[in-house]
Amino acid sequence: MEETLKILVVDDDEVDRMAVRRALTKACVRMELTEVGDGNDAISALENHSYDCVLLDDCLLDQDGLNIIHKLRSSEIKVPVVILTNQGDEQIAVELMKAGATDYLSKSRVTSETLAQILRNAIRLHRAEMKAALANQQLRESHEELLQKNQELEKQRQQIQLQNLKLLEASRLKSQFLATISHELRTPMNAIIGFSQILLRPKFGQLTHQQADMVERILNNSKHLLILLNEVLDFSKLEAEQLELKPEIFDLPKVINTTVGEIRSLAEAKKLSLLVQTNLQNTLVFNDPVRVRQILLNLLSNAVKFTESGGIWVEVKEIPNQVIIIVRDTGIGISPRDFKHIFEAFRQVDQSTTRKYPGTGLGLAIINSLVRMMGGKILLESQLGVGSMFKIELPRQITSPTIAVSTPALNLDGDEIFYSAQNSHQSPSQSSKAPIGYPHIKL
Ligand code: ADP
């Protein structure tokens, strides 16, 4: 159903008002028509009621149309205004439209069709403008809201950045503290070890059996403490990115056999078999032998520590451009849910203070960082109660040292954990090219 339009006709000429009324009635416009004869009545009607359209005579007796339009604007009364001009007043109509009138029509051309059409157009246009103004207003508001949120976010970002800087500084200080303390403790520890060894030599006087036993305990505990201190020192250096590899060409099986030899007595003490199988065409590698030994020694110490019966196997083999070191044991095994954590610093499967197996929880974190620096990978397979297998894949010839990142990339595949320890992706063809950082050596 057509809506009823509220229309205000403002004209001081009774005849003209009647002509408008007749034209609209004839055009069958559903309307509530209000008529006023001067400008003041028009303003007060508009202030007190709302209208869909005003038909305004351009030249009233008490004031002209421009004045009325200005008053409407300053009172923020929003209504479409159609100017009804007298003969020859077109120029005035144009001025009024510039001031804000919606349209104009010469009184001489008022017919039912023209008036109804101009009225409807004016209302439609006004409503569209109102809608657009509303949308604009909403846009402005949401823009302001966004600006405010952006400012808040920026503030938060700056705070987080500040906190990050503080954290980095705290972490740097912690690493520095750890490095200093462990370095300082190593000197007296070496003295204790040295003097214990001297005391045990017969040429410095015969000790009683009990005394020798006690000195041996001092020696063993000091050696153990020194290992722990070295771990903490290495870890803090790795964290501070201050640990450097010292690569050279060396015979891998030789280092492997010597390292296995170092652990043999421990394995024998637990009645564990310890077998080495080397399968290399080319035994030479370009790497840091001290760090390769450290990796293997850590894996072997763990294997012995966490194995109560059975044995430990070390296997060394090669694939193009890579050497692979595998350490298997028949120990307690590791549950898949712990795979991820044990490579993190200070993390152990059993974190309780009453745990059966001693240790700092740094060994695997150090191995992980070292293997990363060498551009290699670690693979872990394990089953609770059955045993574990740590597989280290290393480039035969390490390239420029990559920085070790403390959190390893993880790829879980069933019971298998795969540490992508390569920071720089390297295809086999790339690795045969001259390495950046270290000289190219023909192996
Ligand atoms: P630590 O041996 O000093 O505790 P590691 O970083 O070397 O620290 O090892 C972290 C944890 O991973 C160990 O505490 C243990 O729970 C688990 N783990 C490492 N190697 C083995 C293994 N061969 N068998 C069973 N658990 C192991």
pLDDT digits (tens, 9 = 90+) for 266-312: 999 999 999 999 999 999 999 999 999 999 999 999 999 999 999 99
Last residue of a domain, which of 189, 217, 239? 239
What type of residue sits at position 152? E
Q: Measured in Å, how far apart are the chain's first and last C-alpha atoms?
A: 95
Same structural domain, 269 and 370: yes
Taking the centre of ligand 1 as the mean of its atom positions, its distance from the CA of residue 302, in whole angstroms, is 6
The structural domain count of the chain equals 3
> What ligand 1 atom has the least distance to the C-alpha of 361?
8
> What ligand 1 atom has the least distance to the C-alpha of 298?
7
Q: Is the CB of 360 under 6 A from ligand 1?
A: yes
Same structural domain, 217 and 287: no
What domain range is 59 assigned to?
5-110
How many Å apart are CA 437 and CA 369, to the nearest integer? 19
Same structural domain, 296 and 377: yes
- Is 413 or 160 the better-scoring residue by pLDDT? 160
Same structural domain, 95 and 9: yes
Q: Whose CA is nearest to atom 19 of ligand 1?
A: 302
Do the domain assignments include residue 405?
no
Q: Looking at the predicted structure, is the pLDDT value of residue 332 above 60?
A: yes
Same structural domain, 16 and 99: yes
CATH label of the domain that carries residue 34: 3.40.50.2300
Q: Please state the rounded mean pLDDT for residues 7-16.
A: 94
Same structural domain, 264 and 352: yes
Positive or negative, the CA dihedral 90, 94, 99, 101 is positive
Instruction: Answer for the pair 287, 251: CB distance below 8 angstroms, yes or no.
Output: no
Q: Is the CB of 387 under 6 A from ligand 1?
A: no
Do the domain assignments include residue 440?
no
pLDDT bracket for residue 235 (50, 70, 90) = confident
Q: Please state the rounded mean pLDDT for residues 83-89.
A: 84
Do the domain assignments include residue 298?
yes
267: left (phi over 0), alpha (psi -120 to 50) or beta: alpha
> What ligand 1 atom has the least distance to the C-alpha of 332?
25
pTM for the full predicted model: 0.60
Query: pLDDT tens digits for 107-145?
Result: 988 899 999 999 999 999 999 999 999 999 999 999 999
How many Å apart are CA 390 and CA 394, to the nearest integer? 13
Q: Is the CB of 297 under 6 A from ligand 1?
A: no
CATH label of the domain that carries residue 261: 3.30.565.10
Q: Is the CB of 363 under 6 A from ligand 1?
A: yes
Same structural domain, 252 and 235: no
Last residue of a domain, which of 87, 110, 133? 110
Q: Whose CA is nearest to atom 25 of ligand 1?
A: 333
Last residue of a domain, which of 80, 110, 140? 110
